[in-house]
Amino acid sequence: MLAALDLHLLDHSDRPGLRGWPRFVREFLYFGLKEARACLFVALFFSAVLLVPRAGLLGLPRYDVLLVAALAIQLGMAWSGLETWDELKAVSLFHAVGFGLEVFKVSGAIQSWSYPDFAYTKLWGVPLFSGFMYAAVGSYIIQAWRLFDLRIRHHPPYWMAVLIAVLIYVNFFTHHYIGDYRWYLAACALGLYARTTVVFRPLDRERRMPVLLAFVLIGFFIWLAENLSTFWGVWRYPNQLGAWSAVHVNKWSSWSLLVVMTFTIVAHLKHIKASIHVPEH
């Protein structure tokens, strides 16, 4: 059934008779369908986050159940061909990068947030399932690339993109010691990607948007998901220990910068790199 849906969504044949409002409505509908389909891993994983009781299931603590669910979803997508093995390697890299950041952020000297519940699969205070929250972002971008037939125009030189991505990641650690340079890095990313556009097909015609807008929008939806997760008590910020409150809007900027880093990793996949235009001058 999913294969048939993908085949239908990937049909970009011309529809010359579609004009005006009917075209707008049809394209908007297909845009929403493709977005929902690209969020398959995200939707399944966060459904587990919301549905698994805090007490766990069948004697397993909640965090351990979430790890089993995340592994089953990820392996199922690879086994069914929804993700290639190269893409699975990239998603695994997101997991490792995210888990490393989580370990630092919950450490005794930092304590930016915490995972309050017990789990057998908890290392250095961080449950192993947490890395899949970062992997979910990478999975979404990979799936969207295929479904929307994405192409990137005026991508900056790869070494510059990698440098800014590394600096963004490093700043997540160093801002606790030498100051937060996120806005300087955001300004650098703004200049670096100012001319970059993403070309996509909601239906049959190509549409364009600034890639910077895509970074900001994806960051916003991650921020919403973070609010939902903290409300359900999956993890908590220090100001949420007594009673829940919304995650500070500043986190939106952090997530948008993380999307820049994730996008850079995805852009190095061989089959995706072929759809990226880097000007020679």
Q: 131 is written with which tokens?
A: 């890395």
Of the three residues 148, 176, 194, the one that is the final residue of a domain is 148
Torsion of CA 96, 101, 105, 106, to 10 degrees: 0
- Determine the 3-state secondary structure of 122 from DSSP: strand
Other Cβ atoms closer than 10 A to 278? 15
Q: Say what the pLDDT of residue 167 is.
A: 95
Residue 2 covered by a domain: yes
The pTM of this model reads 0.88
Question: Do 278 and 158 touch, CB atoms closer than 8 A?
Answer: yes
Give the count of domains, the chain: 2
Q: Say what the pLDDT of residue 95 is.
A: 87
User: What is the percent of the chain where pLDDT is above 90?
Assistant: 38
Claim to verify: residue 192 and residue 69 sit in the same structural domain: no
Helix or strand (DSSP H, E) at 26: helix 20-38
Question: Do 73 and 91 touch, CB atoms closer than 8 A?
Answer: no
User: What is the percent of the chain where pLDDT is above 70?
Assistant: 97
Write the pLDDT tens digit of every residue in 213-231. 999 999 998 888 888 877 8
- Work out the mean pLDDT of the chain and round it to a whole number: 87
Q: Say what the pLDDT of residue 161 is.
A: 94
Rounded Cα distance, 184 and 170, in Å: 13
Write the pLDDT tens digit of every residue in 145-157. 999 999 999 999 9
Residue 179 DSSP class? -
Q: Say what the pLDDT of residue 54 is.
A: 85
Rounded Cα distance, 261 and 186, in Å: 12
Write the pLDDT tens digit of every residue in 64-116. 999 999 999 988 888 888 888 888 888 888 888 889 998 998 888 888 878 88
Q: 198 is written with which tokens?
A: 């993403």
Claim to verify: residue 157 and residue 92 sit in the same structural domain: no
Claim to verify: residue 141 and residue 164 sit in the same structural domain: no
Helix or strand (DSSP H, E) at 200: strand 197-200
Q: Please give the average per-residue pLDDT across 27-39, as a whole number.
A: 92
Answer yes or no: is pLDDT of 234 > 80: no
pLDDT band for position 56 (cuts 50, 70, 90): confident
Residue 18 covered by a domain: no
Question: Do 138 and 266 touch, CB atoms closer than 8 A?
Answer: yes
Q: 249 is written with which tokens?
A: 């809007």
Of the three residues 97, 117, 148, the one that is the final residue of a domain is 148
- The label of the residue with tokens 């939106």 reads 252
State the residue range of the domain holding 258.
153-234+244-280
Q: Please give the average per-residue pLDDT across 42-48, as a whole number.
A: 88
Write the pLDDT tens digit of every residue in 247-272. 778 888 888 999 999 999 898 887 78
Of the three residues 148, 175, 208, the one that is the final residue of a domain is 148
Claim to verify: residue 120 and residue 184 sit in the same structural domain: no
pLDDT band for position 189 (cuts 50, 70, 90): very high
Answer yes or no: is pLDDT of 188 > 90: yes
Answer yes or no: is pLDDT of 241 > 80: no
Amino acid at 180: D
Amino acid at 31: F
Q: 167 is written with which tokens?
A: 């600096």
Cα–Cα distances (Å) from 40 to 43, 46, 142, 209, in that order, read: 5, 10, 11, 23
Residue 127 covered by a domain: yes
Helix or strand (DSSP H, E) at 152: strand 151-153
Q: Say what the pLDDT of residue 131 is.
A: 87
Q: 185 is written with which tokens?
A: 């890095």
Q: Residue 235, CB half-sphere, CA atoms under 13 Å: how many?
A: 18
pLDDT band for position 245 (cuts 50, 70, 90): confident
Answer yes or no: is pLDDT of 142 > 70: yes
For the chain, how big is the Rg over CA atoms in Å? 20
